[in-house]
Amino acid sequence: MTDLLAGSAEFARLWRSHDVSAHHTLRKTFAHPRVGPVTVNCDVLDIADQDQRMVIYTADPGSPSEEALLDLA
């Protein structure tokens, strides 16, 4: 932590502000017409003081869903 604080004034400012936002995790399954069902972890990060959120979808490593996503890439 000391290295991060010393290495970035922006990081140090954000760390001091303790501006923490909500984080939600869900699991969703999508029915894809080519690869079939794909189950992903859905992490939702609310952006503080804004009417926006970031949604990140990831499959479990080594899972059939990860293989399906790699086939689609």
On average, the pLDDT of the chain sits at 87
Residue 8 has pLDDT above 80, yes or no: yes
* Confidence band of 14 (pLDDT split at 50, 70, 90): confident
- 3-class secondary-structure state, position 33: coil
- 3-class secondary-structure state, position 39: strand
Rounded Cα–Cα distance for residues 15 and 41 (Å): 27
Q: What is the pTM of this model?
A: 0.59
* Confidence band of 21 (pLDDT split at 50, 70, 90): low
Residue 24 has pLDDT above 80, yes or no: no
